[in-house]
Chain A
Amino acid sequence: MPISFRTFCETIQVIRGTRSTNTKIGLFAQLLQQIDEPWELKLAAQFAGEGAFDEISGKRASVGSRTSGLAAANFCEIDYDYVFKPCRTATGSSSEAIEKLMENISAAIKKRSPKELSLTDIQQIFEDLRAARNRSDKEIILQEAWKKMTPVEIKYFIRILGQGSLRIGFETRSVVASIAKAFSKNFEDVRYAHMITGSIGKTALLASQNRLNDAEFRLFHPLSFMLASPIESRMIEHPEYYLAEEKFDGMRAQVHVSGNSVQIFSRDLNDITRSFPEIIDFFRQRDMPPTVLDGEICVYKNDTILPFQLLQKRMGLKKPGKKILQEYPVLYIAYDLLYSGNEPVFDLTLIKRSELLKKIAAKYNLAVASQYEISGEEDINYLFEQALKHGNEGLMLKRKNSKYEYGQRRKSWLKVKKPGGSFDAVIMYAHAGSGKRGGTYSDFTLGISVKNDERYEEEFIPIGKAYCGYTDDELKKLNDRISELAVERYGPTLGLLPKLVVEIEFDDVQVNKRTKAGYTLRLPRFKAIRWDLGPNDINTLKDVEKYYQNKLQQERLPQDQNPSFSFH
């Protein structure tokens, strides 16, 4: 029996309202069992777990939240700026605001006469949206589709379109568990098939047809990356079990190569081949047998690794021009091997993979990260300083006997990063937290001063949002003070008088053109609440700009002695 998109969305809505993860998994498993059309089964799992398109297909509908917002405002015959935007702010979700407006506003109710669309119909609409050239064509397709949907369908249609989470507390892992439950399979087998195929839809299909064994790693299909856990203390147990590498100030990338064919994938498994023609040329000239490498793309000039901020100028460029290529040349530095000799090698230990990688590197003259044995904290400190001098971010410690744990963030890879910077900032908004912190304000939008900055009218502008780093006790005190400082309320958000000063720590400063400040802090967190300081004592936007510039201009040691990597 095929199920309609409405049934699908209504089930998703019930899952959203259910607290127990097991019940959620059971509900979705039941839904999957009802579908006997293979293609529709694939779509159901894909819509819940990935989005409108298979992640590995790289397809995107390219409908931004502004496009769907404008289309919805027009559909409801309301003003986008005056009415839609405040609704979106209050709900904190564009798609939920649209759901409510579709439900409430009579102009929208009149236009909608819900039909029983199938999942295949929906897929076709996603394809049409992808093919549409401009925003106005996309708006027309959206509005035509919405005429046939209920508000709850419209909400999830938009979320699926966004290729992100459905925000129902039901993440990929739970979809995997539902597939296992629906077709009486082992969870680990389903998870493995998902990792290998990179497609939750395909995985559901294989499970339903008892063909999970068909899932195998294939060249030119990216494999999820193995991730590292940060460590605070450098006193690790059994340092001799680990190898150290410098943590490059670059961009993680997986290279698939076979003879003349080369493909590069980013950490989110997107194909970024075309952005880096010099890497393609580099590998093409080598005429290698089928090989998959994990490593880092860095801007490399005059024997020096240049800052990640410069690499950002290359990211997203589909066809970099000559000037860009000359100014910001990149190099691929490999540090792991996933496929070689016509078979996956990710189940071998790090030591064995490294040995193989070095052999291949020597034969084809590849750049490979230097690895060091360590025996204690002193070695770590020494190597760490050396990495920083090279302009790198810190150190990676990798367990010698570990497999390549694709898609996992466990303790086999540890990263030692340098402490970030810190600023004094003022709390501008408090947001009610979720989960176990429900009912208290636990997320805070922090502002820096632009009081004496002729570019701005306001006194403070946001620079980041922090939701950790404080103790339970501090949070309680903050909440007490917040209730006195609140001047506005937007649903779960409170606007505060700018009085509370916080010292925030962060990993880095990044350019972000979409924010008022033009910069955002990476991973901001509380370091201390400065009850002793007032809003006149905080850092300014100029301080943030200076921090960014200093970082760009920091001296970097060239790669001559004790290099971060070498050509074998």
Chain B
Amino acid sequence: MNIQKAGYHGLYFPELKIALDGYHPDADFVFISHAHADHMPRNRSASVHATPATLGLMELRGFRGRSNPINFHETLDTGRCTVCFFPAGHILGSAMIHIESDSGTLLYTGDYRTPPSPASEGFAAPESVDYLITEATFSLPIYKWKSHEELAEEIRNFAKDSLEDEHTPVFLAYNLGKAQEIMHMLASLGYPMMIHGAGYKLCSVYEKFGYDLGNYSAYDRATCEGNILITPASALSNGFASNVSKKRIAYCSGWAALESRQTQLTVDKLIPLSDHLDFFELIGFCQRLSPKKVFITHTPNPDVVQHYLQKSGIDASFLQLEAPSEE
């Protein structure tokens, strides 16, 4: 199977003339797994296929091209292959892309999370595939997540305890996906929340698709004290809520599993809430699909995943993407 690089992080299949998560000039179809920046095409005027939620989010994040919605479990025949989206459990709208052609079946995971994020459409996958292209962001056995219930409890307790001690709780979380997941977990408390502008504008899409994000408004420096605050970590060093002296900060990310993060970011609490699956879930998923071959992408440590998969008899390699040749 021939796989090339498309755009910044994406893939191009020359025989099928389709591109995934990246723009390619020769592609008949471009499929986008989800609306995170490293999966969206850099070419903002491309014509793309994605789930309605992903398209909604992409448009709010500056996408100006042609949007072609595909629902989950709906199939599209390109003439060279059949494409079907499975819910990936990563963020709202996130999809795994299943491709069936003469060369067999292939599943491209994009970013995924199983058990799925409570603020996503859930998770589903085919029984088996011939080829699996999987992300492996947390590709080491030091990463093993607690259940969403436990983490949601930690998040609610952090908010409640801080407010009881008359401190403003601040959650550091990526502005698409993690931020809304946290708001969804906090919604039942009924406390007022304020979210950083970049994340605020995306919340309407979540609500449109039926997710309760609680009692929230856009971050306002003058009145933010006493609200639950949600912001990306980078905003904190640019003066976010710097007028509030009594605050407690929790960093919510899979990387929060590393203790060094606490001093690096100067936070009060690390909450390892990830929108990717952990190492054990990843290996288990690959085993369950028992593909002929696994290609590993988006990972700092392909060797470790490869080592584990090969030990359980699955052929695996790091997907080295080559730029398309000149001719």
Contacts and interface: CB of A to CB of B under 8 A. Distances in A.
Interface of A: 16-17, 19, 78-79, 82-83, 86-87, 90-93, 96-97, 100-101, 103-105, 169, 432-436, 438-440, 488-492
B307 A492 contact: no
B280 A91 contact: no
B259 A103 contact: no
B258 A19 contact: no
Contacts of A82: 303-304, 307
A492 B144 contact: no
Contact of A104 (B144, B233, B259, B263): B144
B264 A97 contact: no
A19 to B, nearest CB: 6
A90 B233 contact: no
Contacts of A434: 260, 263-264, 266
B141 interface: yes
B301 interface: yes
B267 to A, nearest CB: 8
27 contacts: A82-B303, A82-B307, A83-B141, A83-B304, A86-B140, A87-B140, A90-B142, A90-B301, A91-B259, A91-B260, A92-B260, A96-B259, A97-B142, A100-B257, A104-B141, A104-B143, A104-B144, A104-B280, A432-B265, A438-B237, A438-B263, A438-B267, A439-B233, A439-B234, A491-B300, A492-B255, A492-B261
Interface string B229-252: 000011011000000000000000
Given A90-B300, A96-B259, A439 B280 contact: no
B255 A491 contact: yes
Interface string B270-296: 100000000110000000000000000
Contacts of B143: 100, 104
A104 B265 CA distance: 25
State the majority secondary structure of interface residues on A.
mixed
Contact of A490 (B268, B300, B307): B300
Given A435-B266, A488-B300, A93 B141 contact: no
A489 B300 contact: yes
Given A79-B307, A86-B304, A93 B142 contact: no
Interface of B: 140-144, 233-234, 236-237, 255, 257-270, 279-280, 300-301, 303-304, 307
Contacts of B263: 169, 434-435, 438
Nearest to A476: B237
Nearest to B262: A17
Contacts of A104: 141-144, 279-280
Contacts of A97: 142
B300 A436 contact: no
Contacts of B280: 104
Nearest to B278: A104
Contacts of B268: 17, 19
Contact of A103 (B140, B144, B265, B267): B144
A438 B300 contact: no
B266 A90 contact: no
A86 B301 CA distance: 7
A263 to B, nearest CB: 39
A110 B79 CA distance: 53
Nearest to B255: A491
Given A83-B141, A100-B142, A101-B142, A436 B304 contact: no
Interface centre among A86, A439, A488, A491 (most CB of B within 10 A): A439
A438 B233 CA distance: 10
A181 to B, nearest CB: 22
B141 A78 contact: yes
B265 A439 contact: yes
A440 to B, nearest CB: 7
Contacts of B279: 104
A91 B142 contact: yes
Nearest to A169: B263
B269 A17 contact: yes
A524 to B, nearest CB: 21
Given A90-B140, A90-B301, A83 B259 contact: no
B237 A439 contact: yes
A104 B283 CA distance: 14
A87 B261 CA distance: 15
A91 B270 CA distance: 14
Given A90-B300, A104-B280, A492 B258 contact: yes
Contacts of B269: 17
Contacts of A101: 141-142
Nearest to B142: A100
Contacts of A440: 237
B73 to A, nearest CB: 34
B303 A86 contact: yes
Contacts of B233: 439
Contacts of B234: 439
Given A87-B142, A90-B140, A90-B142, A439 B260 contact: no
Interface centre among B143, B233, B300, B307 (most CB of A within 10 A): B300
Contact of A438 (B141, B144, B265): B265
Nearest to B260: A92
Given A438-B264, A438-B266, A492-B264, A91 B307 contact: no
A100 B266 CA distance: 22
Contacts of A78: 141
Interface centre among B140, B267, B304 (most CB of A within 10 A): B140
A19 B141 CA distance: 28
Given A90-B301, A169-B263, 18 more contacts: A17-B269, A83-B141, A86-B303, A87-B140, A91-B258, A93-B259, A93-B260, A97-B142, A100-B142, A101-B141, A104-B144, A434-B263, A435-B263, A438-B237, A438-B263, A439-B266, A492-B258, A492-B264
Contacts of B144: 100, 103-104
A75 to B, nearest CB: 13
A156 B280 CA distance: 25
A487 B303 CA distance: 17
Q: Which 7 A-B pairs have the closest CB atoms?
A: A100-B142, A434-B263, A104-B144, A438-B266, A438-B265, A432-B264, A82-B307
B296 to A, nearest CB: 14
B59 to A, nearest CB: 25
A83 B307 contact: yes
Nearest to A167: B259
A73 to B, nearest CB: 11
Nearest to A434: B263
Given A79-B307, A435-B263, A439-B265, A90 B258 contact: yes
Nearest to A100: B142
Nearest to B280: A104
Contacts of A17: 262, 268-270
Interface centre among B142, B234, B263, B266 (most CB of A within 10 A): B142
